[in-house]
Amino acid sequence: MAKENSQPFEKGEINPYSEFFTGETHLNMLVKKDDVFNSSIGNVTFEKGARTNWHKHSGGQILLVTMGVGRYQERNKEIQELKKGDVVKIPPNVEHWHGAAPNSEFAHISIETNIPNNVTTWLDKVSDNEYK
Amino acid sequence: MAKENSQPFEKGEINPYSEFFTGETHLNMLVKKDDVFNSSIGNVTFEKGARTNWHKHSGGQILLVTMGVGRYQERNKEIQELKKGDVVKIPPNVEHWHGAAPNSEFAHISIETNIPNNVTTWLDKVSDNEYK
């Protein structure tokens, strides 16, 4: 029997972009950018309370939630709760962050859209006050 | 506790493209084509023995396996077994089919690549002899 919060994809390595995250995260790059598929697809796993910095993608991003309970917020909007099976469509250039809930591991597939015209800009940390 | 073969995404409706498949399949369109994200992402669930027809995508396709055991074959190559966590990168214009193993349900996320320049061409059924 699989555990309640098991996910389909391996956690992979310690996130090489950890400087742009708070807390412990893992990254498993499922599809790396190339000129044939023009795709960049990763599986990101967040420990309890871990989250991205504020950031934006010039070409947008899609998240497919595969495990646990998480949070998503766009600048100047309310925090949304995310759960397994949810899909988040993040429009180009919208500042946002995503991560785990305080008491749950969380994982999503991350799909960069409109490659090769998609640049990620990392911004400030999500403070404990913003995270709540 | 989740079942061994549970998947993160809902099965969705009976596949509206069933004429191009053998056996029972379901389709849950997670992201529909638009001009903002240029993505088409679906979750496809195959009952035991179900499979696509032979087909090809002019812009390629990526499969992310989320449940069960399945099969993938490119024209004039051996059948490959697929299992949860596998990633299949199907290059543009390569004739292929995918589906469940005879004794296992199977599900994958399907990501069309290079949209809007991606046309799917459906071909002949995968015979019982080809499927084995």
Q: What is the CATH number of the domain that holds A23?
A: 2.60.120.10
B44 compared with A3, residue with greater pLDDT: B44
Is residue A132 in some structural domain? no
Is residue A91 in some structural domain? yes
Q: How many A-B residue pairs are in contact by the CB < 8 A criterion?
A: 84
Split at pLDDT 50, 70, 90, the class of B5 is low
Q: What is the pTM of this model?
A: 0.95
pLDDT at A5: 58
Is residue A18 in some structural domain? yes
Give the minimum alpha-carbon distance from B121 to chain A in angstroms, rounded to a whole number: 18
B38 with A65: Cβ contact below 8 A: no
Is residue B57 in some structural domain? yes
**Element holding A75 (H helix, E strand):** none
The total number of structural domains that make up chain A:
1
Is residue B56 in some structural domain? yes
pLDDT at A132: 86
DSSP collapsed to 3 states, chain B: CCCCCCCCCCCCEECCCHHHEECCEEEEEEECCCCCCCCEEEEEEECCCCEECCEEECCCEEEEEEEEEEEEEECCCCCEEEECCCEEEECCCCCEEEEECCCCCEEEEEEECCCCCCCEEECCCCCHHHHC
Find which of B4, B5, B39 to mutate to test the A interface (most A CBs within 10 Å of its CB). Answer: B39
pLDDT at B132: 86
Which token pair is A77? 């909007």
B87 with A114: Cβ contact below 8 A: no
In degrees and rounded to multiples of 5, residue A128 shows phi and psi of -60, -30
Facing A2 at nearest CB: one of B2, B38, B111: B2
Q: What is the SS3 assignment for A36?
A: coil
Is residue B113 in some structural domain? yes
On the question of pLDDT at B124 being above 60, the answer is yes
Mean pLDDT of B94-111: 98
ipTM > 0.90 (yes/no): yes
Split at pLDDT 50, 70, 90, the class of B115 is very high
Provide the domain limits for residue B21: 13-122
Mean pLDDT of B13-21: 97
pLDDT at A1: 38
Find which of A65, A113, A117 to mutate to test the B interface (most B CBs within 10 Å of its CB). Answer: A113
On the question of pLDDT at A30 being above 60, the answer is yes
Which token pair is A84? 């397994």
DSSP assignment letter at A102 = T
Which token pair is B60? 């390629």
Is residue A23 in some structural domain? yes
Residue B65 near residue B8 (C-beta atoms within 8 A): no
Facing A62 at nearest CB: one of B2, B31, B92: B31
User: A96-106 pLDDT, tens per residue?
Assistant: 999 999 999 99
Is residue A79 in some structural domain? yes
Q: What's the whole-number average pLDDT of chain B?
A: 95
